[in-house]
Structure 1
Amino acid sequence: MTFVQTFSIDPNEFSGKHVLVSGGTKGAGAAIVRRLMAAGATVATAARSPLPEDLSPALFVQADLVTAEGVAQVANAVLGRFGAVDVIVHNLGGSATPGGGFAVIDDVLWQQELNLNLMAAVGLDRALLPQMIERRAGVVIHISSIQRRLPLHESTIAYAAAKAALTTYSKVLSKEVGPKGIRVTSVAPGWIMTEAAEHMVSRIAEHGGIDEAVARQSIMDALGGIPIGRPAFPEEVAELVAFLASGRAAAIHGAEYTIDGGTVPVV
């Protein structure tokens, strides 16, 4: 199953805008980079993994954003090249903990998940928001997860807790910087068709001694199913991010938008 684009993109919507997307070399992050570039944005991205050959942002910084040194490296590179950043998309995140529930997650794994899914965004905000506040303009988008509401006890306890903290942090930040001209929102995707999602399937299969088809179905069962019958495409997440980053969403602030095919079964 592949994504088919059935709508047009305004190639000038983000003309003159400078954007930073963290974790923009794979999955939804790469899709966000491509979508904003297609709309005329000058995009920088940063990640630990190398830049793929089919992605060509205006600036790429290979750095580890879970460290203070990595955050400083990225912030200095972006501000040095662009002078200012108009939009920050905190896409960096993921889970590397094994299956097996709470007992297998030691202190090191807990700290890794918190650093990757929460503190990297906090660090970049601290480094880049001052220039937005000075100009009284900017947009910050945090990519959270429906796991903050529907954690999978088998494999995503620490990840889910970190994403819950990210959503709460995003809301608090919106209260502080909204009056200073900065819009802050968050996006909570459900299951997305990415390489990282397939790695989670592999970890569950390996831990449980089952094949990947059974592991994949176990995730679907734990989620309670996806009413539209499939996970979201990375490009669909990118489209929501592009809307929230645009002037079309000028009155949207402090809110979280879920994109999960109807997985979360409550209002």
Structure 2
Amino acid sequence: MKREQTADGVLNGKIALVTGGTKGIGKAVVNRLQQAGATVIVTARNQPEATYPFIAADLSRPEDVNKVATVVREQFGRIDILINNMGANTYPGGGFNTLTDEHWDQALQVNLLSSVRLDRALLPLMLEQKTGVIIHISSTSSQFPIWESTMAYSAAKSALNTYSKALATEVADKGVRVLTVSPGLNKTEAMTAFLEDYANKANITVEEMSGKLFERVGGVPIGRMAEPEETAEFIYFLVSPAASYLTGTNLIIDGGNFPVVK
């Protein structure tokens, strides 16, 4: 379900950094922020064909986080919007006995500590400016872990939620807003690869695997996965002046998946 979006100039003059911004939700966020007038810097491990400023980096490595922060400070001199979108669920399924210390460490480095380090490096700029927005992209898996496939990922994202709330409280009176966004099922390249892999292992079709996933998470009342552009539109709203009173919350965008009142 594609939505038409037009440039609106709301973010003219703003400098934004999007991590993991070359695919999926991150790529859609980059496009939406550009449409709104922001200068968007993108960081990921592999450089795509694109016209935006790009910094090649593996943010699970502290030295690469420092490199990104140095480039932002020296070349742009400020940062108004930080979208910590980097994350991955590439760890073995099958439960506790399949996950080694290395897997757990990787999950924490990618899904938690990359954001912690980048915030620590760039938040001082926002505090000097007395303005800024940080968005941590989490997952509904943080509150609905699936032991067969998301144990380490879910635990790391849950830790990210707690950290994000604490940071928001610390800097709320200093002009900086910090929010968490927890998407549900999104129709991304990573989701497609996930479904294909599990479908092959189970010797069923991708469509059948998709149905099983919907059942496993308790169903999605709206009846489909989100398009990345829909999630990006929500994130754009959160960084815009229209959301100026929002901070410290974990906002779920899941098509009605959660069956409880939160």
Place the TM-score, normalised by the shorter chain, in its bin: over 0.9
Equivalent of residue 177 in structure 2, options 178, 183, 202: 183
C-alpha distance in 2, partners of 1:235/1:95?
A: 21
C-alpha distance in 2, partners of 1:116/1:65?
A: 7
C-alpha distance in 1, partners of 2:51/2:146?
A: 35
Say if 1:171 and 1:254, in contact at 8 Å, map to a contact too.
yes
1:37 aligns with 2:34: yes
CA deviations 1:224-258 (Å, max 9, x no partner) are 11111101110011111111101111101111111
CA deviations 1:34-88 (Å, max 9, x no partner) are 000011000101001222x2x322x100110000111011111111111010110
TM-score (norm 1): 0.94
1:18 aligns with 2:7: no
CA deviations 1:176-198 (Å, max 9, x no partner) are 11111111111100000001111
CA deviations 1:84-134 (Å, max 9, x no partner) are 101100011010012212221111111111111101000100000011111
| Residue 199 of structure 1: how far off its partner (Å) | 1.8
Say if 1:98 and 1:203, in contact at 8 Å, map to a contact too.
no
| Residue 212 of structure 1: how far off its partner (Å) | 2.9
- Alignment correspondent of 2:117: 123
- Alignment correspondent of 2:51: 56
How many percent of aligned residue pairs carry the same amino acid?
Answer: 46
Say if 1:35 and 1:238, in contact at 8 Å, map to a contact too.
yes
C-alpha distance in 2, partners of 1:4/1:138?
A: 27
- Alignment correspondent of 1:3: 2
AA aligned to 1:109 is: H
Say if 1:185 and 1:253, in contact at 8 Å, map to a contact too.
yes
- Alignment correspondent of 1:162: 156
| Residue 207 of structure 1: how far off its partner (Å) | 4.1
| Residue 205 of structure 1: how far off its partner (Å) | 2.9
- Range 210-219 or range 105-114, more displaced: 210-219
C-alpha distance in 1, partners of 2:236/2:177?
A: 14
- Range 165-174 or range 217-226, more displaced: 217-226
SS at match of 2:124: helix
Equivalent of residue 191 in structure 2, options 180, 188, 197: 197
Structure 2, unpaired ranges of 5+: none
AA aligned to 2:208 is: V
CA deviations 1:124-164 (Å, max 9, x no partner) are 00000011111211110100110011111110111111111
- Alignment correspondent of 2:256: 262
- Alignment correspondent of 2:237: 243
AA aligned to 2:248 is: G
C-alpha distance in 2, partners of 1:130/1:208?
A: 49
The alignment's C-alpha RMSD in Å is: 1.3
Structure 1, unpaired ranges of 5+: none
| Residue 206 of structure 1: how far off its partner (Å) | 4.2
C-alpha distance in 2, partners of 1:182/1:153?
A: 36
AA aligned to 2:143 is: R
Say if 1:66 and 1:116, in contact at 8 Å, map to a contact too.
yes
- Range 151-160 or range 98-107, more displaced: 98-107
Equivalent of residue 102 in structure 2, options 93, 105, 108: 108
C-alpha distance in 2, partners of 1:73/1:166?
A: 22
Aligned residues: 261
C-alpha distance in 2, partners of 1:41/1:8?
A: 13
C-alpha distance in 1, partners of 2:96/2:207?
A: 24
Equivalent of residue 66 in structure 1, options 60, 66, 91: 60
C-alpha distance in 2, partners of 1:250/1:43?
A: 20
TM-score (norm 2): 0.96
AA aligned to 2:126 is: M
Say if 2:185 and 2:226, in contact at 8 Å, map to a contact too.
yes
